[in-house]
Structure 1
Amino acid sequence: MPRWEPDAPARLRAAALELFAEHGYENVSAEQIADHAGLTRRTFFRHFADKRDVVFGGSERLAPVASQAIAEAEPGAGPRELLVAALVDVATQLEDAIRPSPARQAVIASSPELRERESSKHEAVADAMAAALRRRGVGETDATLLARSGAAVFRTAFEAWIHDAGTRSLASHVEATAARLRDLWA
């Protein structure tokens, strides 16, 4: 593949996932990823900080999105509505950044380092939602409980989205999962 072709980040992601699936995450270097994509090591590091970033690049934007969604929700919205609005906004942002990929999830599941990174990503979003809920007047314990429940809703919805081959949006999975949890607790 010529080095001048467009969309280097997508090419690097595709090459990385292919190599990770074939050789294991721990056994692949950034240089190998770049070479497999027909690019240079320098190009790799122009787009990604490290090989974990190929898998999780852009995830740092999710916590601010969740916090902003809660802050900008309708005045008088209840805590549950605030939380679902935040989760839907995060889902929309994430869906714009990645496509459903069982292969990506398999790579993450196969690596303790990547599972840890994914957990910390979800925890950062939960922390941001809890802080935003507190700023909207939700008590400390309730904000924490809602945010952690929201993180579980999001993870469950994300897994369903990955495995439904993109027939429904991630946001619709989030809404359905939140409704299901509400019904289970009723």
Structure 2
Amino acid sequence: MVRWEPGTPERLQRAALELFATRGFEETTAAEIAQSVGLTERTFFRHFSDKREALFHGQELFAQAFLTGMDAAPPDASPIEVVAGALRSASAFFPDERRPYSRTRQSVIDRNPALQERELHKMAVLATTLADAFRARGVADPAASLAGQSVTAVFGIAFTQWIRDGEDRSLADIADDVLAELRALTSASPTPAG
């Protein structure tokens, strides 16, 4: 029997991702994940409710990264300035050395409809959390909801670009570029109806 070691959830996460990537999500069991790092299935279930959660562990830290950026914004910052702060803070959660892991994780998710649904749910919860944080800052609806959705939309587009093969820009730089596109889009003159 293996002695307890620190970082068990992280070891299980890494093992799960490796097995999901090589064998497939459906083909991998929780017992196999645990055994691959010298642990029991029971230990796996002490940390995760199911094997899917091994891919989504740490969601609270992910959301907190955005909220930290919002909290750091001055009280008189405009909603779009708060959006920018949230994106900068969240980008720091994804340093360049995390890119290979993120690419592999996304490839596993992209091959499984149930995981895609779980990822969409994660982002929807994040958008709601951020909208609530905007409301707490005094931003009224629908602007608070739009701001929360904008953060998640910009982040999602930037993240997709960041994990592309051959991409070497930081997530922060890409998020800045995507946010600039959103600003340009919202400041453009409306096209007359045809």
**TM-score interval (norm. to shorter):** 0.7 to 0.9
Give CA-to-partner distance per residue, 1:49-100, whole Å, 9 cap, x none. 321221111012333443343244112111101112112222323x26x822
Q: Which moved more, 1:5-14 or 1:128-137?
A: 5-14
Q: What 5-or-longer segments of structure 2 have no aligned partner?
A: 188-194
TM value normalised by structure 2: 0.80
Aligned AA for 2:105? R
- Are positions 1:82 and 2:82 aligned together? yes
Measure the CA separation in 1 of the matches of 2:53 and 2:170: 24
Q: Which moved more, 1:134-143 or 1:166-175?
A: 166-175
Measure the CA separation in 2 of the matches of 1:164 and 1:137: 41
Measure the CA separation in 2 of the matches of 1:166 and 1:136: 35
- Checking the alignment, whether the CA contact within 8 Å between 1:129 and 1:147 is kept in structure 2 is yes
Instruction: Provide closer, same or farther for how the CA distance between residues 131 and 48 of structure 1 changes in structure 2, counting only shifts above 3 A.
Output: same
After TM superposition, list the pairs within 5 Å mapping 1:99-138 onto structure 2: 99-100=98-99, 101-138=102-139
Q: Secondary structure at the match of 2:42?
A: helix
Measure the CA separation in 2 of the matches of 1:130 and 1:7: 33
- Checking the alignment, whether the CA contact within 8 Å between 1:21 and 1:107 is kept in structure 2 is yes
Q: Tell me the number of residue pairs that the alignment of Structure 1 and Structure 2 aligns.
A: 183
Q: Secondary structure at the match of 2:163?
A: helix
- Partner residue of 2:27? 27
Q: Secondary structure at the match of 1:25?
A: coil
Measure the CA separation in 2 of the matches of 1:24 and 1:6: 27
After TM superposition, list the pairs within 5 Å mapping 1:8-157 onto structure 2: 8-93=8-93, 95=94, 99-100=98-99, 101-157=102-158
Measure the CA separation in 2 of the matches of 1:145 and 1:34: 42
- Checking the alignment, whether the CA contact within 8 Å between 1:157 and 1:177 is kept in structure 2 is yes
**1:164 Cα shift?**
5.4
Q: Secondary structure at the match of 1:27?
A: coil
Measure the CA separation in 1 of the matches of 2:112 and 2:29: 14
Q: Which has a greater percent of helix? A: 1
Measure the CA separation in 1 of the matches of 2:78 and 2:111: 39
Measure the CA separation in 2 of the matches of 1:158 and 1:139: 28
Measure the CA separation in 2 of the matches of 1:31 and 1:165: 35
Who wins on radius of gyration, i.e. which is larger? 2
**1:115 Cα shift?**
1.0
Q: Secondary structure at the match of 2:144?
A: helix
**1:33 Cα shift?**
0.8
Give CA-to-partner distance per residue, 1:74-131, whole Å, 9 cap, x none. 12111101112112222323x26x8223221111011122111111111111111111
Taking only the aligned residue pairs, the percentage that are identical comes to 43
The structure, 1 or 2, with the larger RCO (C-alpha pairs under 8 Å, 6+ apart) is 1
- Partner residue of 1:168? 169
TM value normalised by structure 1: 0.83
Q: Secondary structure at the match of 2:82?
A: helix
Q: What 5-or-longer segments of structure 1 have no aligned partner?
A: none
